Amino acid sequence: MGEYGVKLLDLTGFEYESYFMCDTMHIGWKGWLAVDQALISYYYEQ
Backbone angle region of 19, left / alpha / beta, with phi > 0 → left and psi within -120 to 50 → alpha: left
Please tell me whether residue 15 adopts helix, strand or coil conformation.
coil
In whole angstroms, what is the distance from residue 29 CA to residue 34 CA? Answer: 9
Instruction: Please tell me the pTM assigned to this model.
Output: 0.75
Domain residue ranges in the chain:
1-45
Query: For 1-46, how does the pLDDT look when each residue is reduced to its tens digit (9 = 90+)?
Result: 668 888 888 999 998 999 999 988 899 999 999 999 999 999 998 7
